[in-house]
Amino acid sequence: MQHASFQQDMKKTLRAPPCVSYCIKMEQRKITNPLSTAKKKKTKHSVLQQRFLLFILIAIFILVANNSSTTSIATERALFLRKVEPAKDNPPKRKPIGDNDDTVINTNKVTLVLTKVGSIDIELRSDLSKSSVQYIHQIIASADKCTNCRLYRAEKPGILQGTLIKENVPPNQHLGDCPKEYEYIALNTKNCPKSDPINCGCHGPIMTRGMVGWTAGGAGPDFFINLYRDEADWWENQHTVWGEIINPSSLQLMDRILDLPVQKGSGGNNMHYLLDPIRIELE
């Protein structure tokens, strides 16, 4: 019995515990397969490299896309501005306006530059005579100099007369219409001139100080500026009015021109002409 018990105890002693056996097996695996750990590290490093390269590629793609988009927007804006904004070095030429043109006239002012004197601003009255305002715009649009444009007559206390003409600009041929507030003249006048049966001599308002119209009841090119303080009702409605001076400084300049030296016409002509006619340029 004692011998049998001793043998069993020796077997127990020689038998390795489960944890020791497991550890031995793990150590054997490491010894028998030493490259396994290095392989895992290498695989992990490779994955990190791939992710880093993928991040770099995505970043480059985003940068290129943004740059392309910005360039495209800038190009589209440049093309748009090129269509909308005229070149500063080559401003568009004014298109001549014909008598029958229905183009809306946006410019409502013209400046008469008087040589060695100054300049006057005239508000254009297309509501009174559209064809006359179109004629003024044609003169401005013409590239030729206005060599025959000038002030030549001064009658105290209220008339300055001149001419606006260019050889390459067709003359205005239309008188102003009778303003609505004066239509009763044509309706109540029995003996209208045969040459003017519709308007019966009514082609504009009663002229007030600063108004500009064509002379002698015509359609130009000679014009005059009314400087009388009171309404010029003695002219009635015969003059085609196409502009008005409302700038006080321009009116004062006109009054000073009335004081310039004049000479009386020869023969039976009682009009007074400036000794030095004043050249005009239109702007």
Mean pLDDT of 227-246: 91
| Cα-based angle 257, 263, 266 (whole degrees, multiple of 5) | 140
Flag whether pLDDT at 102 surpasses 50: no
Nearest of 178, 181, 224 to residue 199 by alpha carbon: 178
Angle (CA) 208 209 211, round 5°: 75
Q: Which residue has the higher pLDDT, 213 or 102?
A: 213
Average pLDDT, the chain: 75
64: its two tokens? 């290129």
Give the residue among 243, 266, 270, 263 at the shortest CA–CA distance from 120.
Answer: 243
The CA distances from residue 268 to 222, 261, 264, 265, 271, in Å, are 21, 20, 10, 8, 9
The pLDDT score that the predictor gives to residue 105 is 44
* Distance separating alpha carbons of residues 110 and 112, to the nearest angstrom: 7
pLDDT higher for 194 or 86?
Answer: 194
pLDDT digit string, tens, across residues 189-213:
656 666 666 667 788 999 999 999 9
pLDDT tens figures, 51-65: 778 878 887 877 766
At 131-190, the pLDDT tens digits run 999 999 999 998 888 888 999 999 999 999 999 999 889 999 999 988 888 877 655 665
**pLDDT tens-digit profile of 27-37?**
555 444 554 55
- pTM metric for this prediction: 0.60
pLDDT tops 50 at residue 99: no
